[in-house]
Amino acid sequence: LYSSVAVSSVYGKPGVKLSPTLAAFTNGVATHSMDFDDTWHPATHPSGAILPALLAASQMLPPNTKPNGLDFLLAFNVGLEVQGRLMHFSTEAHDIPKRFHPPSVVGTLGSAAATAKLLSLSSAQCCHALGIAASLAGAPMANAATQAKPLHHYEFLLEKQDIAFKRFPAHLGMHWVVDAALSVRNLFINYAGSFSPSLIRAIMLKIPVSKYINRPFPSSEHQARHSFQFNACAALLDGEVGLGSFSESSIHRQELRELLDKVVVEHPEDNVANFDKMYGEVALLLHSGDVLTGKCDTFYGHWRKPLSKESLLKKFRSNASHVLPEEKIEAIITLVDNLENLSDSSQL
């Protein structure tokens, strides 16, 4: 765990290398630091648990045994598939989990499976790796005095369901209300000619019951990323939600606070806290008596409505531009586009 052999890279720190274990841990933490990583259904963040482990492991191996890009992609998909199957086996996971955060459980198993595949471990070694991972993920008594039986599946989950990529750095639930808010904003502009908050008497949000993302007046960046009210009002006011939306200056704007004062929340019985079934609805109740409504049951980026490659590249270029020059950004895009032909995946 605390090996002095520092061979694995750390995101954003060109001169820093750590042991594979510590590099994987550090990069794993960084992946979720802005709540901007991908999601899946049943709900988990699949890539953040496995990609850092695979990158660290690929740098750990001697030059003549490094996996190629196709090996890397296959191992990555194995890690996704294992997480998906574990989530599908769980009855509770089909609703937003109440007792555990899925990445810490299924992510640990998925990471172990992906790394085992990348390192070409034997069947016995894979069993040991997954058994240790299971214990680290929650120490189940099921590991005591039992044999592991193979599970037979005839189709891969990845063939049926895409990953969901977030368009802005906030809790996934926010994406429904933002799309609904943007929809009703367009209606309002067509109605009034421009977005004029003074014409709005109240803003009605119809959202699922959720304690930790129902924050009427967020006072910090973190709270804003987890506030239905803030994200709906930011989308209404600015016509978009992005990195800048969560800055201190943006959060504490007077005009935004005035919109937040107008928000009323309802929890319809048919709007359940489930990423496959929930919806977001934003209604503007105008002083004139008119009501304009926007509703979203599948936001752009959801696994039922995946982002186009153009949108994914736009997101990547925007994020990477904060830390990398343009030529390096384009080099990474080219590398990933041709990953299956890469002879040495540690180049990533």
Domain ranges of the chain: 8-166, 172-296
> At 281, which amino acid appears?
E
CA angle at 107 for the pair 104 and 111, rounded to the nearest 5°: 130
Evaluate the CA torsion angle 182, 188, 194, 200 in order and state its sign.
negative
Tell which residue, 143, 24, 2, has the closest CA to residue 79.
24
What whole-number distance in Å separates Cα of residue 326 and Cα of residue 154? 44
* CA–CA dist 215, 246 (Å, integer): 14
Residue where the block lists tokens 């750990």: 60
What is 172-296's CATH superfamily? 2-methylcitrate dehydratase PrpD (3.30.1330.120)
pLDDT given at position 144: 42
Q: Where are the alpha helices (DSSP H) in 61-101?
A: 69-89
pLDDT digits (tens, 9 = 90+) for 95-146: 666 667 788 889 999 999 999 999 999 999 999 899 888 877 764 545 444 4
- CA-CA-CA-CA dihedral for 184, 189, 190, 191, to nearest 10: 90
- Could you give the C-alpha distances from 65 to 58, 120, 321, in angstroms and in order? 9, 11, 33
Beta bridge partners of 281: 206, 295
End-to-end CA, the chain: 23
Residues 6+ apart with CB under 8 A from 320: 328, 329, 332
Integer-rounded Cα radius of gyration of the chain: 22
Q: What is the pLDDT of residue 141?
A: 46
Phi/psi for 285 (5° steps) reads -95, 110
Backbone angles phi, psi at 235, to 5 degrees: -65, -40
Strands 8-10 and 291-296: unpaired
- The confidence score (pLDDT) of residue 148 equals 30
Helix axes 326-337, 309-320, angle to 10 degrees: 140
pLDDT at 257: 95
**What kind and span of H or E run contains 224?**
helix 221-225
Q: Which amino acid appears at position 127 of this protein?
A: C
- Are 302 and 310 in contact by the 8 Å Cβ rule? The answer is no
For 87, other C-beta atoms within 10 Å of its C-beta total: 23
For residue range 308-326, list pLDDT tens digits in order: 999 999 999 999 999 999 9
Q: At what angle do helices 47-60 and 102-118 cross, to 10 degrees?
A: 30
* pLDDT in the model for residue 97: 63
On the question of a cis peptide bond just before residue 42, with omega within 30 degrees of 0, the verdict is yes
Reading the chain (348 residues) residue by residue, the pLDDT tens digits are 556 779 999 999 988 999 999 999 999 989 888 888 898 888 889 999 999 999 999 998 888 888 999 999 999 999 999 999 998 887 777 666 666 778 888 999 999 999 999 999 999 999 989 988 887 776 454 544 443 323 235 467 777 778 889 999 999 999 999 999 999 999 999 999 999 999 999 999 999 998 778 888 999 999 999 999 999 999 999 999 998 999 999 999 999 999 999 999 999 999 998 888 999 999 999 999 999 999 999 999 998 999 999 999 999 999 999 999 999 999 999 999 999 888 888 888
Measured distance CA(215)–CA(225) in Å, rounded: 10
- Of 304, 296, 299, the residue nearest 271 (C-alpha): 296
